[in-house]
């Protein structure tokens, strides 16, 4: 049961209270109090750049880049918010970052801490006059400036790290973070064992591109996908269940799970979907996939894709690794809980004898059997059983055939030019009146000149030429004339096709000063044009290209 100090307001926030960093179980919630963390990793993690909610790492966190936490899914603080008390970044070991750390909330670390200048924490105000002094004590550093202090911004304080890296050592507030992560791991592993023993009550239908999971239970629907021995998850997953019910998807993959499809689950059901990796030791995201739902895999290491992807839900993992240049993210879609797991509801001393092995079965193998994991302490002073032989490594799966490229679309026919308007007919001049007969002169007649109107034919005006479209559709053409640094160097010009939160590289060219680039693309798509110096010298970071675009023949173009 959950006995933590969470009032109704705090339930909308992420993280754990600064004064109560302790583990609590929550009935029906496999993530326990860690459900208030976007992701909890029991061992080491690295290179994560953005987590929309809070994050907890039991081991070390290392990254050559920066990290932002708890800004909400749309960077509007929805689901997080400013808080004077909540810890949004909890680390049991060391933190070593070369970039800045920006967190909406407190940072508590059990080991050493290093982050770049510019690291900032946003702590909500509580209205008390003593809060500024309390924050100065919490984030005090003996190596820091005597003039350092938090900055009051009205709704929140800024904790800057302009002099030395700032954080709260766990010992300063009496927090036993090692015990927190140990109890969290034990509780979540117990839930994992219980859920994987649930009997499926739904059906699985497989097609060439997806698995359709159907269930009619109003509370929870349990499905099993067995893709052993190769562990290939190369199709989409879609559920058809009653609205508001749970979808518990048990994935049996063997030691290695291979995520080879770009979409798992649906956004509308993300908070009600739980992916339980029963036996995977490694989860490889081999495409930049969108995973809608929570992941329960406390025994597995998650290898995120080298370019990006996201998990929208809670995640409990043994460890986490990703390429240092990846844009992988965790999005905040908290699992609703409410799982019915009868084994956990029964006190262990009252369980039938035949069910006891499912909970305390077989202690972990002793360390003489690499690469098996190190053993946990034996629960009784009995000798440990002999190690079973390690399984033979599974053969690597054959690479799937590359898909045939889609044929290029036919160019639309050019519209016929509209005919020029016909000129209006020139008006006909009226006939001149006949002169009356001159009277007979009786005397000498003096003739006076008198102007006589003479009909003149007025030429019709020349028709105006029709406008000619000067933009060529499907062509992006431009030139780079120089650089703001007044030096001559080359530029790398890249063109991406944008789709949702992902992007696909279409062109990658190197262009010199007074050089041009030309790309043929479809008119109706959305594109991103990226221009940066080819040199990796840090002095080039301020360079700005002087560029002109001579033809933009697409409907949507962004430039960075």
Instruction: Please count the other Cβ atoms lying within 10 Å of the Cβ belonging to residue 401.
Output: 6
In a domain, 310, yes or no: yes
In a domain, 102, yes or no: yes
User: Are 162 and 264 part of one and the same domain?
Assistant: no
Q: Are 83 and 48 in contact (CB under 8 A)?
A: no
- Cα–Cα distance between 39 and 58 in angstroms, integer? 11
What is the pTM for the complete model shown?
Answer: 0.62
Enumerate residues 6+ apart whose C-beta is below 8 A from 443. Answer: none
User: Are 71 and 161 part of one and the same domain?
Assistant: yes
In a domain, 12, yes or no: yes
Q: Are 55 and 91 in contact (CB under 8 A)?
A: no
In a domain, 502, yes or no: yes
3-state helix, strand, coil split of the chain in percent (to 5) is: 10, 30, 55
Residues of the chain with pLDDT under 70: 1-13, 343-400, 402, 405, 408, 420, 423, 426, 429, 435, 438-458, 460, 463, 465-468, 536-541
User: Are 180 and 232 part of one and the same domain?
Assistant: no
User: Are 169 and 239 part of one and the same domain?
Assistant: no
| Element spanning 248, H or E | strand 246-252
User: Are 246 and 302 part of one and the same domain?
Assistant: yes
- Cα–Cα distance between 226 and 241 in angstroms, integer? 20
Give the residue from 315, 340, 365 where a domain finishes: 340
User: Are 180 and 226 part of one and the same domain?
Assistant: no
User: Are 45 and 153 part of one and the same domain?
Assistant: yes
User: Are 136 and 34 part of one and the same domain?
Assistant: yes
- Assign 135 to helix, strand or coil: helix
- Cα–Cα distance between 102 and 87 in angstroms, integer? 13
User: Are 179 and 225 part of one and the same domain?
Assistant: no
In a domain, 442, yes or no: no
pLDDT at 436: 76
pLDDT at 221: 97
**Structural domain boundaries, residue 489:** 475-559
Q: Among residues 52, 58, 90, which one has the least CA distance to residue 330?
A: 52
Give the residue from 195, 221, 248 where a domain finishes: 195
In a domain, 447, yes or no: no
- Cα–Cα distance between 77 and 553 in angstroms, integer? 38
- Cα–Cα distance between 83 and 155 in angstroms, integer? 9
Number of domains in the chain: 3
Give the residue from 309, 340, 371 where a domain finishes: 340
pLDDT at 375: 46
In a domain, 226, yes or no: yes
In a domain, 258, yes or no: yes
Enumerate residues 6+ apart whose C-beta is below 8 A from 24. Answer: 1, 2, 3, 4, 32, 33
User: Are 169 and 263 part of one and the same domain?
Assistant: no
Strand ranges of the sheet holding 545-552, from the earlier edge strand across to the other edge: 515-520, 475-483, 545-552
Strand partners, 106: 87
């Amino acid at each position: 049961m959950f006995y933590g100090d969470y009032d109704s307001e705090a339930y909308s926030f992420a993280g754990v209270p600064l004064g109560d960093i302790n583990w609590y179980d929550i009935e029906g919630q496999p993530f326990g109090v860690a459900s208030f963390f976007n992701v909890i990793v029991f061992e080491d993690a690295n290179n994560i750049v953005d987590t929309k909610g809070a994050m907890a790492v039991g081991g070390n966190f290392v990254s050559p880049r920066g990290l932002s936490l708890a800004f909400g899914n749309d960077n509007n603080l929805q689901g997080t918010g400013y808080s004077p008390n909540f810890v949004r970044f909890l680390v049991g070991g060391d933190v070593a970052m070369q970039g800045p750390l920006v967190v909406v909330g407190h940072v508590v670390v059990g080991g050493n801490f290093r982050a770049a200048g510019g690291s900032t924490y946003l702590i909500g105000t509580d209205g008390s006059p003593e809060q500024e002094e309390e924050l100065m004590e919490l984030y005090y550093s003996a190596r820091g400036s005597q003039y350092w202090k938090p900055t009051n911004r009205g709704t929140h304080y800024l904790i800057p790290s302009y002099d030395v890296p700032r954080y709260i050592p766990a010992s300063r507030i009496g927090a036993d973070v090692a015990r927190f992560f140990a109890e969290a791991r034990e509780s979540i592993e117990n839930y994992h064992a219980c859920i994987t023993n649930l009997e499926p009550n739904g059906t699985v239908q497989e097609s060439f591109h997806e698995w359709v999971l159907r269930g009619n239970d109003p509370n929870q629907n349990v499905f099993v996908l067995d893709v052993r021995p190769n562990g290939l998850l190369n199709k989409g997953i879609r559920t058809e269940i009653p609205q508001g019910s749970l979808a518990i998807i048990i994935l049996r993959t063997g030691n290695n799970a291979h995520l080879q499809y770009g979409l798992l689950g649906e956004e509308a059901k993300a908070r009600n979907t739980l992916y339980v990796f029963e036996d995977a030791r490694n989860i490889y995201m081999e495409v930049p996939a969108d995973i809608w739902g929570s992941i329960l895999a406390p025994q597995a290491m998650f290898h995120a894709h080298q370019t990006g992807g996201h998990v929208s839900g809670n995640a409990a993992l043994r460890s986490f690794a990703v390429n240092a240049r990846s844009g992988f993210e965790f999005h905040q879609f908290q699992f609703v809980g409410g799982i019915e797991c009868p084994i956990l509801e029964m006190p262990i001393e009252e369980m039938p004898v035949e069910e006891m092995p499912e909970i305390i079965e077989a202690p972990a193998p002793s360390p003489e059997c690499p690469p098996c994991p190190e053993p946990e302490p034996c629960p009784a002073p009995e000798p440990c059983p002999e190690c079973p032989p390690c399984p033979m490594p599974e053969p690597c799966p054959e690479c799937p055939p590359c898909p045939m490229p889609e044929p290029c679309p036919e160019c639309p026919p050019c519209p016929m030019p509209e005919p020029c308007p016909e000129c209006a007919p020139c008006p006909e001049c009226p006939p001149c009146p006949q002169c009356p007969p001159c009277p007979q002169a009786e005397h000498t007649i003096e003739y006076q000149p008198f102007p006589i109107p003479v009909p003149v034919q007025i030429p019709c005006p020349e028709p105006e030429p029709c406008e000619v479209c000067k933009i060529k559709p499907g062509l992006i053409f431009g030139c780079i004339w120089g650089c703001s640094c007044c030096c001559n160097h080359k530029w790398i010009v890249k063109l991406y096709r944008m789709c949702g939160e992902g992007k696909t590289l279409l062109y990658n060219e190197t262009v010199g000063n007074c050089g041009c680039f030309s790309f043929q693309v479809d008119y109706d798509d959305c594109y991103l044009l990226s221009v940066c110096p080819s040199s990796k010298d840090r002095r080039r970071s301020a360079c700005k290209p002087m560029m002109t675009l001579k033809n933009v023949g697409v409907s949507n173009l962004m430039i960075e």
